[in-house]
Amino acid sequence: MTDPSRDDELVFLPLGGSGEIGMNFNAYGYGPPDNRKWIVVDCGVLFGRETTSPGVDLIMPDIRYLAEQRGDVLGIVATHAHEDHIGAIPHLWPMLRCPIYATPFTAILIEGKLDEVGLSAKVHPRRVKLGGKLTLGPFELEFISITHSIPEPNALAIRTPLGTVVHTGDWKIDPDPLVGEVTDIAALKRLGDEGVLATVCDSTNALVPGESGSEAKVREALTTLIGTCKGRVAVTVFASNLARLETVAIAAKANGRHVALVGRSMHKITDAARETGYLKHFPSLLDEEEAAQLPPNRALYLCTGSQGEPRAALARIAENNHPNISLGKGDTVIFSSRVIPGNDIAIHELHNKLSQLGVEVLSADDHFVHVSGHPCRDELAEMYRWTRPQIAIPVHGEARHLAEHARLARLLQVPQAIVPENGQLIRLAPGRAGVIDEVPAGRVHLDGRVLIDEGAGLARHRRALAFAGLIAITVVLDGKGKVMADPAVVIDGIPEPVHDAIRNALAEPLRRHNPKRDLDGYDLKESLRRAARRAADEAWGKKPVTRVEVVQV
Amino acid sequence: MTDPSRDDELVFLPLGGSGEIGMNFNAYGYGPPDNRKWIVVDCGVLFGRETTSPGVDLIMPDIRYLAEQRGDVLGIVATHAHEDHIGAIPHLWPMLRCPIYATPFTAILIEGKLDEVGLSAKVHPRRVKLGGKLTLGPFELEFISITHSIPEPNALAIRTPLGTVVHTGDWKIDPDPLVGEVTDIAALKRLGDEGVLATVCDSTNALVPGESGSEAKVREALTTLIGTCKGRVAVTVFASNLARLETVAIAAKANGRHVALVGRSMHKITDAARETGYLKHFPSLLDEEEAAQLPPNRALYLCTGSQGEPRAALARIAENNHPNISLGKGDTVIFSSRVIPGNDIAIHELHNKLSQLGVEVLSADDHFVHVSGHPCRDELAEMYRWTRPQIAIPVHGEARHLAEHARLARLLQVPQAIVPENGQLIRLAPGRAGVIDEVPAGRVHLDGRVLIDEGAGLARHRRALAFAGLIAITVVLDGKGKVMADPAVVIDGIPEPVHDAIRNALAEPLRRHNPKRDLDGYDLKESLRRAARRAADEAWGKKPVTRVEVVQV
């Protein structure tokens, strides 16, 4: 590795994930301020929510700052295949057009995503082997196997002439993770011995004391629990949690049950896993039709839909309209998953529907059927003991998680902890680390098939439509400005009893319209708009979005 | 009490609360099927949600079945003053116009509600003393003091010639509730000795093992916790939980802190409490301005806003725009409350904003600062031991709570457990209990100031607007059906890049319009509607609500 030039700096730039759990997008820059080379670590999405962003499927970071320098972006490196780390690649790659690097399992899932948007001919993710190395300009990257809730999660050691950054990705400690490697503690300690400038680390569980727990314990508990079930059993899990799929399959087998996978993403993940050599010890699977032929106490369905997703397998079972699976009295559904914030109502509704069918519902609320894939406080403490960085940078968390993580790092004697915000350009070296600039940042919505700036306020405007509906009035004037007919009034999303009040309120502005003074109806438009809104407010207590058009014939 | 006539029946009719936690509305009927007398127990609301019912403030039961027999509705009896038990009175009373009965504290809060809608001259709640009795036609009611999370909660013993029903209301067991009476176990046991036909009981915590815990333990824990705080402290609680207000006030005093109430409903509740003789031992209070003058470690703010309500005191403090209170580094906010399902995101956002101000946030996630006001499984078991009913009827719960509560009752040897649904007319006596009829039931929305049937689908339609926006097209035809000008097109809630595609798609149907065959533009309307939706779908992947009007001049 060459020595740094006098002007060289190593900078960290989060554009997503610092302030939210999701939408991870972190860039590292190296070089003089006017000529930095960049690498991007992860490129993920957040899911839209009907409350705050109705009609928005995916939320992604605004990366225009890097897009403007795309000739200097040397690559996107994906730590693992969760949506919040790779989900934005098919949508944002066209702005960067750089190589993509990932370990094999992750690469296959990225390929699938690129294929879905017709980009597979333009870019192929380059495969890096587990524990592999990669040089991108001034950055020397080493992939370090860790444990998480998906196959092939990696931390990255990012070596530069100005020091080494450990970017943890999403991780936990599990001495017995069932699938994949245990966290490569030796490698992390070796880095600590070499000297680590900064550890950029997962904050998801920074508020949770203790340890996240072992998958092997879940296996034991599920084996016992399934043993108590008499009828059909369905278990719903995150499809990407291959270790959990194996846990459930082993627990099923121990109880003489055959497993069928139910739901599209179950098949997508297991196909990718088989292609990369996983699932060799997985018990053989039945298809849905075969499982339906078994006696109830011999079948177990592994289903998608743990978050109450309305079109997933479990929702269809609960609605009793799944083509092959029907559950009822004596059957059991186990939610081997957590409740992602914002999904509680949808999940409760699913519980209720299953309960109304007579199904018994078991979940992490009342049984030990899930462990988190993210490090709790004792695990974070281990990470700082291993890597002994000069700087702690908490990422992958909301403000409260980041703040608490920084507090913990300081307690653990890390000399400096920096809570970053998306868009802050943070110099890591040389000199004392700190924010040196703010670059454009924000969120972009995938709204239908169109990418639009959150700042344009379209989703927010649709919330106004959802609150108070819309009035569209069209008035027809002749060439001399005279009103030619009753206006056309579209009233939408407003209670019937309010309609007459709105229509009646238009008479007065129309009567007062003076064609001579207002030939093109400019003033009339505004007075109609005001009259309609005032009438709605008086009759209803809400002011609808109101649009007035003039057609002149 | 007279003997029953040959045709007399005792029936139970839930119109709300069986299938949801909230909107409690239960009716008991007595007499022959064609001439029943009714009493209503509780008349509450559910709160609307932006996801499922945008623009809806309150959700209430559809009570048209009772409204049609309102001459036979002898009274509304309120068990306690929570919104989910009394909140619908001002909106639904005009349909029943019967007397209202409640204990003094509850009566004052109902009076306030009636006053807000201009009904206070028409009906005065009649006050029943604690432990009091009341005869309404064939029903002899006894109020039995219980413990809950508000002053003056009551169970009702409803005696009829065909047997006694114990309607528990919302309750828990707390040997040391701090404010108000302990649950009157002797009265409940006495009823058990007399013989209870049915116990109609709170199911909120039917999934939670053990006991709900004691307010006195919260007092101890909060006293210790506040003792560890150095700067300003704000504690947010449900304003109606007077015992918790007192708990916090005592914990503050023990730590040399003076309390200020912050938020409108804090004052409303404490005023009602003082008027009815509570709060005599409450430490003296400061107003906000006085508290702001104290050294930080001498002040404690009791705030509304524990659910992240955007206009409540705590939200304004977190936004740093409260007129008198400003929190920052070194200060602490304690959430002494639970997370009501559906509110998690709003509460987390509040946590994050406070955290960004440097405030430390403590909550029931990580500290013992809250106990529930509803009975857990061991407490439910006690209730069945005391009352020993022939029939258990779980109410006040979602389907899963009701099912689990019924399962528990059967385990406890209750001979019959019936899971009711809103609108089911359930005969309790004579003979074996069971559903004998279904009456019209459902939900009514308070949308702005207008009450509308949920079934009319207005809120659902507005969700469609929030998802895909709206297109309103107005086309002007002359008397012969000829198009006179370019149509007026209002496009709302749709991304800008899609607008041209929509506008351009209208040319073809306009060109193909044949004035002779389609004089009034009927076919043109439909072809324009289809063309606009198809264009939006092709360019965007969504089909907006599309309305077309024809103006003929």
The three-state DSSP-derived secondary structure of B211-233 is: CCCCHHHHHHHHHHHHHCCCCCE
> What's residue A422's pLDDT?
98
Would you give the DSSP letter of residue A16?
A: E
Average pLDDT, chain A: 95
Residue A2 binned pLDDT confidence (cut-offs 50, 70, 90): confident
> What's residue A1's pLDDT?
67
**Which residue among A398, A468, A488 sits closest to B352, beta carbon to beta carbon?**
A398
**Which residue among A462, A468, A551 sits closest to B55, beta carbon to beta carbon?**
A468
Contact in structure between A528 and A453 (CB atoms under 8 Å): no
Average of pLDDT values for A190-202? 98
Would the CB atoms of A492 and B398 count as touching at under 8 Å? Answer: no
Residue A51 binned pLDDT confidence (cut-offs 50, 70, 90): confident
**Which residue among A342, A448, A449 sits closest to B345, beta carbon to beta carbon?**
A342
User: Nearest chain B Cα to A57, which residue?
Assistant: B467
Residue pairs spanning A and B at CB distance below 8 A: 219
Q: Alpha carbon of B464 to those of A203, A465, B52, B467: distances in Å?
A: 36, 9, 11, 5
Q: Alpha carbon of A55 to those of A84, A354, B529, B543: distances in Å?
A: 19, 28, 21, 11
CA–CA dist B167, B532 (Å, integer): 57
Would the CB atoms of B461 and A493 count as touching at under 8 Å? Answer: yes
> What's residue B280's pLDDT?
80
Min Cα distance B456 → chain A (Å) is 9
> What's residue B176's pLDDT?
85
In the predicted structure, residue B388 carries a pLDDT above the cut 70: yes
- For B355-487, strand residue ranges (E) read 360-363, 389-395, 416-417, 424-429, 434-438, 443-447, 450-453, 470-477
Q: Write down the H helix ranges in B388-488.
A: 399-411, 458-468
CA–CA dist B145, B140 (Å, integer): 16
Average of pLDDT values for B376-389? 98
Contact in structure between A170 and A82 (CB atoms under 8 Å): yes
Average of pLDDT values for B484-506? 97
User: What residues pair up with B40 in beta bridges, in sequence order?
Assistant: B27, B76
Contact in structure between B379 and B170 (CB atoms under 8 Å): no
- HSE value, Cβ hemisphere, 13 Å, CA-based, for A454: 18
Would the CB atoms of B490 and A550 count as touching at under 8 Å? Answer: no
Give the residue carrying structure tokens 């200097």.
A72
Min Cα distance A376 → chain B (Å) is 13
**Which residue among B400, B449, B547 sits closest to A490, beta carbon to beta carbon?**
B547
Beta strand pairing status for A163-167 and A196-202?
parallel
> What's residue A281's pLDDT?
76
In the predicted structure, residue B523 carries a pLDDT above the cut 70: yes
Would the CB atoms of B468 and A55 count as touching at under 8 Å? Answer: yes
Phi, psi of B259, rounded to the nearest 5 degrees: -105, 135
Would the CB atoms of A345 and B51 count as touching at under 8 Å? Answer: yes
Contact in structure between B208 and B311 (CB atoms under 8 Å): no
Average of pLDDT values for B338-362? 94
pTM: 0.92
Complex-level ipTM: 0.92
Min Cα distance A132 → chain B (Å) is 38
**Which residue among A209, A399, A450 sits closest to B495, beta carbon to beta carbon?**
A450
Residue A136 binned pLDDT confidence (cut-offs 50, 70, 90): very high
Which 3 state secondary structure label does DSSP give A33? coil
CA–CA dist A377, A148 (Å, integer): 16
Would the CB atoms of A448 and B540 count as touching at under 8 Å? Answer: yes
Min Cα distance A19 → chain B (Å) is 9
pLDDT in tens, B53-112: 999 999 999 999 999 999 999 999 999 999 999 999 999 999 999 999 999 999 999 999
- HSE value, Cβ hemisphere, 13 Å, CA-based, for B456: 15
Min Cα distance B348 → chain A (Å) is 9
Would you give the DSSP letter of residue A382?
A: H
pLDDT in tens, A214-273: 999 999 999 999 999 999 999 999 999 999 999 999 999 999 999 999 999 999 999 999
Q: Which residues of chain B lie closer than 8 angstroms to A540, CB-CB?
A: 447-450
Q: Which residues of chain B lie closer than 8 angstroms to A550, CB-CB?
A: 488
Beta strand pairing status for A139-145 and A73-77?
unpaired
List Cβ neighbours of A519 (8 Å cut-off, separation of 6 or more): A480, A481
CA–CA dist B503, B535 (Å, integer): 9
Of the CATH numbers 3.10.20.580, 1.20.140.10, 3.30.450.20, 3.20.20.370, which one belongs to the domain with range B469-552? 3.10.20.580
Contact in structure between B331 and B233 (CB atoms under 8 Å): yes
Average of pLDDT values for A284-289? 90
Question: In 3D, which of B248, B334, B262, B260 has the Cα closest to residue B299?
Answer: B260
Q: Which residues of chain A lie closer than 8 angstroms to B362, CB-CB?
A: none
- Per domain, the residue ranges of chain A are 9-210+372-456, 215-363, 469-552
Which 3 state secondary structure label does DSSP give A502? helix
Beta strand pairing status for B470-477 and B25-31?
unpaired
In the predicted structure, residue B429 carries a pLDDT above the cut 70: yes
Percentage of chain A lying above the pLDDT 90 cut: 93
Contact in structure between A325 and A261 (CB atoms under 8 Å): no
pLDDT in tens, A313-350: 999 999 999 999 999 999 999 999 999 988 999 999 99
User: Nearest chain B Cα to A536, which residue?
Assistant: B448
Q: Alpha carbon of A483 to those of A308, A487, A490, A524: distances in Å?
A: 53, 9, 18, 10
Of the CATH numbers 1.20.140.70, 3.30.450.20, 3.60.15.10, 3.30.1060.10, which one belongs to the domain with range A9-210+372-456? 3.60.15.10
Would the CB atoms of A465 and B492 count as touching at under 8 Å? Answer: yes
CA–CA dist A383, A206 (Å, integer): 13
Q: Write down the H helix ranges in A357-472.
A: 377-387, 399-411, 458-468
Would the CB atoms of B54 and A463 count as touching at under 8 Å? Answer: yes
* Amino acid code (one letter) for B281: H
CA–CA dist A133, A287 (Å, integer): 40
pLDDT in tens, A484-538: 999 999 999 999 999 999 999 999 999 999 999 999 999 999 999 999 999 999 9
Beta strand pairing status for A360-363 and A332-335?
parallel
User: What residues pair up with A549 in beta bridges, in sequence order?
Assistant: A474
- Spell out the SS3 assignment of B131-180: CCEEEECCEEEEEEECECCCCCCEEEEEEECCEEEEECCCCECCCCCCCC
Which 3 state secondary structure label does DSSP give B318? helix
Would you give the DSSP letter of residue B52?
A: T
Which 3 state secondary structure label does DSSP give B354? helix
> What's residue B1's pLDDT?
66
Q: Which residues of chain A lie closer than 8 angstroms to B352, CB-CB?
A: 19, 398-400
**Which residue among B49, B361, B466 sits closest to A400, beta carbon to beta carbon?**
B361
Would the CB atoms of A488 and B399 count as touching at under 8 Å? Answer: no
Would the CB atoms of A51 and B55 count as touching at under 8 Å? Answer: no
Would the CB atoms of B399 and A493 count as touching at under 8 Å? Answer: no
Would you give the DSSP letter of residue A172?
A: B
Q: Which residues of chain A lie closer than 8 angstroms to B356, CB-CB?
A: 399, 403
Would the CB atoms of B551 and A486 count as touching at under 8 Å? Answer: yes
**Which residue among A448, A450, A549 sits closest to B474, beta carbon to beta carbon?**
A549
Q: Which of B21, B47, B49, B51 is most worth mutating to test chain A (most A CB atoms within 10 A of its CB)?
A: B51
Would the CB atoms of B551 and A487 count as touching at under 8 Å? Answer: yes
> What's residue A157's pLDDT?
98
Q: Write down the H helix ranges in A158-312.
A: 185-194, 215-227, 242-254, 264-275, 288-293
CATH fold group of domain B215-363: Rossmann fold (3.40.50)
Percentage of chain B lying above the pLDDT 90 cut: 93
Would the CB atoms of B399 and A345 count as touching at under 8 Å? Answer: no
**Which residue among A344, A351, A549 sits closest to B344, beta carbon to beta carbon?**
A344
CA–CA dist A346, B109 (Å, integer): 33
Would the CB atoms of A541 and B458 count as touching at under 8 Å? Answer: no
> What's residue B477's pLDDT?
96
User: Nearest chain B Cα to A208, which residue?
Assistant: B366
CA–CA dist A384, A188 (Å, integer): 10
CA–CA dist B543, B534 (Å, integer): 7
User: Nearest chain A Cα to B343, which residue?
Assistant: A342
**Angle at CA B443, nearest 5°, toward B437 and B449?**
145
- Going across the sheet that includes B299-303, the strands are B285-286, B258-262, B299-303, B233-236, B332-335, B360-363
**Which residue among B51, B449, B547 sits closest to A50, beta carbon to beta carbon?**
B51
pLDDT in tens, A402-443: 999 999 999 999 999 999 999 999 999 999 999 999 999 999
Q: Which residues of chain B lie closer than 8 angstroms to A352, CB-CB?
A: 19, 398-400
**Which residue among B209, B467, B488 sits closest to A54, beta carbon to beta carbon?**
B467
Percentage of chain A lying above the pLDDT 70 cut: 100
